[in-house]
Structure 1
Amino acid sequence: MKQRDLEAYQDFATRRGSALFRSACLLTSGDTHLAEDLVQETLGRMYTAWGKKRCIDNPSAYAQTVLVRAYLTHRRRRSSSERPTVSLPDQAAQTADSTLRITLLQALADLPRLDRAVLVLRYLEDLSVEQTAEVLRTSSSAVRTRSSRALAKLRGQLGSSGFAELTAQ
């Protein structure tokens, strides 16, 4: 890789790394260790494709697509069903914001993986229906259907007052 391509890649990784990590955390329902692994895998794949710039028109969108596909691939692996214990012996005091965040992450964790991916891409990453469909390799109508059903499930889990509190922030 040429020096100027390497510098461009490093600049991209520095600028987009935190946004990719945020998306990965939401996709993994707060599992920061898995999120770090997914971001690392994404940036590794981006590095190998970076020299072939003609295949990357929009690096941010390409990275988001790679991240979601890495997440979906991980979820298909047998070892992905292993989970650490939920309760820890010593926990820090929680504020209202962290309680709300934990509630949202738990509600997202209860959704099927594709529903969760649709909600993260549509509402937290602010992608259009068409962009989300492209990332997930599905149709726009499937994204709209999944989005509608997933939001209904979230409303059912959180109740109308909890859902209104989440959408107000």
Structure 2
Amino acid sequence: MSLAFPKRPGIRRALDAVLLAAFLTLLSGCNYSFTGGGLPQHIRRVYIEPFENETPYPGLESLLLRELQDRFPGSLGVRLASQSSADAIVRGKLKSAEEQTTNINPNTDASGRIGRLEAQVQVSFDAEIYDVQNDKVLWRGNSITALGAFNPNTEDVDDGRRKALQQAVQRLIEGAQSQW
């Protein structure tokens, strides 16, 4: 007879085993945390520099900055800071932003035009996370592409740009997390 599982009816014993396994899993998880959020432990404060904008769309860098400020700190366990007090700096350059038709309706409308069923905005950018204290680049991504699909019948190109910038921020976060 096992001390851990005294003789009990089959279902009751199975339930005890499942509860014990769940408790041990929960207990072992208590010591695990995301300190640093994927960045070295000394990186606690981050300054996000406005990206240079080489696209023909003024204001795109402001939208990206806002999206980065909203999502980057929480995803990586850091706080926003001024450039002078930051442990790391996020910076980069928006290289291109293009609208593309990805799916068309082969039937023409009354005016003879072919309708678009789906389009996307493709944003290309370079980015890096720079460690101020150790004077080195922690992560660098060149020519990263992010896509924002939208339905041109119900959404406009700004929706596609917003979605592409959200994906750009996600790629930057994933890049930072993949290094540690």
Q: TM-score, normalised by structure 1?
A: 0.29
The structure with the greater share of residues assigned to strand is 2
User: Of the two, which has the highest radius of gyration?
Assistant: 2
The structure with the greater share of residues assigned to helix is 1
Q: TM-score, normalised by structure 2?
A: 0.27
